[in-house]
Amino acid sequence: MNRSTWLTKSITVLSVLILLGLWQLGAYLLDSGVLLPTPGVTGSALMVLLQQKPFSLNVLATVIRALQSFIIIFLVGGLFGVMAGYSKKVHAFLIPVLVICKATPVMSVILLAFIWFSSGTVPLFSAFLMGFPVMFVQVEQGVKQLSPRLHEMTVMYGFSPLRRLIHFVIPSLTPSIITGAKASLSMVWKVVIAAEVLTVPRYGVGSRMQLAQVHLETAEVLAWTMIAVLLTAIGDLLFIAMLNLPKKLMHARQTQSMENLQ
């Protein structure tokens, strides 16, 4: 499945180069720094940003908001997902909430939230409403797809509820939890930054973006966008690394226990 050869890697590099080339060409044809600055100008704007004093503070504020909302989504979405998967009543009760969450445009959530909450809370609230259904639906589906045959096996072989949870339910749900967490995490970044753009809290990537846009500093807007993209990519990478960690540990443990046997 995960076959990345030198060929596929060089195709990816080529694709990046083509995109940069198109950008450069577009900037050359438009010939206007306000409409579309060149990649070079954007790059130096990025370097300036990186050296500015509140840079880390802005990034940190956004990262904390995103992580906070992600953790809340993960826990609440997971818990309600499990409950709805097991109980038709809970499912029926949560349907309206889900439909509303899924159908409401991000911008109206943010605008309404800004009427109700302070600018720092809006990104959290909006990200939760947008990310919650994603996590919830995945986990609920996972519970519904739990194998009744394996469940019966655990009953017949006298598994305690805790042992059933650890060795049957959680491993069965893991793929759904991972898919849900991954999808809601990438959504969280976008919503948090969008909310920051509209509400302009004191620190935040979105706030800086908004200020740069007001000053027609297009290069700076692009530079902040690149930072947002990087944040999402780093988030994804960390997430994957975190997933592989227990697998490696488990493998090491199994190898060790087999060695003890011999």
Partner 1 sequence: MNIREISKAYVVGSAQLPVLSDFSLEIDPGTITALVGPSGCGKTTLLRLIGALEQPDSGTIEKSRDEVGPLSYLFQEPRLLPWHSVLANVELVLRPWYQDREERIERSMRFLRMVGLEDYARFKPDQLSGGMRQRVAIARAFAYPGHIMLLDEPFQSLDTHLRWSLVEAFLTLWEADKRTTVYVTHDISEALLMADTVIRLTSRPMQISRSYRINTARNNRSLADPEFIDLQRSFYT
CA distance 241 to 221: 30
Side-chain-side CA neighbours of 261 within 13 Å: the count stands at: 6
Q: Which residues bind partner 1 (CB under 8 A)?
A: 149-150, 152-153, 155-160, 163, 167-168, 171, 254, 257-258, 261
The smaller minimum CB distance to partner 1, of residues 13 and 153, is found at 153
CB of 72 to partner 1, least distance (A): 28
- What token pair was written down for 226? 């690149």
Any idea what DSSP says for residue 146?
Answer: S
Task: Pick the closest to residue 205 from 46, 62, 57 (CA basis).
Answer: 62
CB of 122 to partner 1, least distance (A): 41
The smaller minimum CB distance to partner 1, of residues 5 and 260, is found at 260
CB of 129 to partner 1, least distance (A): 34
Query: Do residues 45 and 222 make contact, with C-beta atoms less than 8 angstroms apart?
Result: yes
Any idea what DSSP says for residue 34?
Answer: T
The smaller minimum CB distance to partner 1, of residues 144 and 167, is found at 167
The smaller minimum CB distance to partner 1, of residues 4 and 257, is found at 257
CB of 258 to partner 1, least distance (A): 6
The smaller minimum CB distance to partner 1, of residues 10 and 254, is found at 254
CA distance 129 to 110: 10
CB of 158 to partner 1, least distance (A): 6
CA distance 116 to 113: 5
Amino acid at 30: L
- What token pair was written down for 188? 């969280």
